[in-house]
Amino acid sequence: MKISTWNVNSVNARLEVILNWFREERPDVCSLQELKCIDEKFPYEAFESLGYNIAVHGQKTYNGVAILSKYPLSDITKGLKGEDEDEQARYLEAVVDAPHPFRVTSIYLPNGNPIGTEKYSYKLRWIERLMARATQLLALEERTILSGDYNIIPEPVDCYNPAMWVDDALFQTEVRAAFRRFKNLGYSDAFDLMPPADNRYTFWDYQAGAWQKNEGIRIDHHLMSPQAADKLSAFTIHKATRGFATENAKASDHVPVSVEFNL
């Protein structure tokens, strides 16, 4: 069972690149972030033709998350409780009704920049709301995988030059501590269990030749409940995808990250 997460940075603008990767890797489930479209504008037919069931929580121009699955999806939840006025489409959750069911998410945690503004306060509140939901899900004792773009650099080694990130919301002490709190709850970071030997980054900026110089960061994560972590068999960062391009589209600044399970 292969489960992937990918911030695609506009699903329609990069559709050809995305579909090429899906045809090659054929994930059983994939969480997408930063769709940048409303539900009605999602390219359902393109993914349905590849055999996927689809759940979408979209938003015009910004944000937007989706879950694509070769198996039926049920118990679909859009958004996090705790802030009724929050209209940003950043969280989607569903049960994958495979022979051995499991629960997945598509998380697009707020960026939070610049520090000292409402954007950063919103990020911290959003993390607390996610923490509350993650705690509830652990109590279910299910196979649960919290997948997505967390916009958190967990450790200094997860960025090419820590000194350049000290004033960034992705690298603040309290944000990194929050990521550790998820693990203290009982979730395991798939990267920790099976770290790749050749690369740990999942994002390279479009500016200043970051991709060419390998100046990346790790912000796309799979956090697994104990029931899921026990079945983990492989972890892959699809680094080469950052260099993909077609006549009509270039790659996202993020790459897909996959976990595989013996369920």
The burial of 25, by beta-carbon neighbours within 10 Å (0-12 exposed, 13-18 middle, 19 or more buried), is given as middle
Q: Is 198 annotated as a binding residue?
A: no
Closest CA to 201 of 164, 239, 163: 239
Residue 150: active-site member: no
Contacts (Cβ under 8 Å, ≥6 apart) of 135: 185
Residue 86: active-site member: no
CA angle 109, 114, 115 (to 5 degrees): 90
Q: Is 254 annotated as a binding residue?
A: yes
Residue 108: active-site member: yes
- Give CA separation, 163 vs 34, 166, 199, 253, in Å: 27, 6, 20, 21
Active-site pick, 57, 221, 222, 254:
254
Q: Is 149 annotated as a binding residue?
A: yes
The label of the residue with tokens 């950043």 reads: 90
Query: Do residues 43 and 12 lie in contact, with contact meaning Cβ atoms separated by under 8 Å?
Result: yes
Active-site pick, 52, 91, 108, 201:
108
| DSSP H or E run through 217 | strand 216-217
Query: Do residues 242 and 255 lie in contact, with contact meaning Cβ atoms separated by under 8 Å?
Result: yes
Active-site pick, 149, 158, 168, 189:
149
* Helices (H), ranges, 168-260: 173-185, 190-193, 226-229
Q: Is 111 annotated as a binding residue?
A: no
Q: Is 7 annotated as a binding residue?
A: yes
Would you list the DSSP string of 247-259?
SS-B--SB--EEE
Query: Do residues 98 and 137 lie in contact, with contact meaning Cβ atoms separated by under 8 Å?
Result: no
Q: Is 93 annotated as a binding residue?
A: no
Distance CA 255, CA 237 (A): 7
Binding residues for Mg(2+) are 7, 34, 149, 151, 253-254
Q: State the catalytic residues.
A: 108, 149, 254
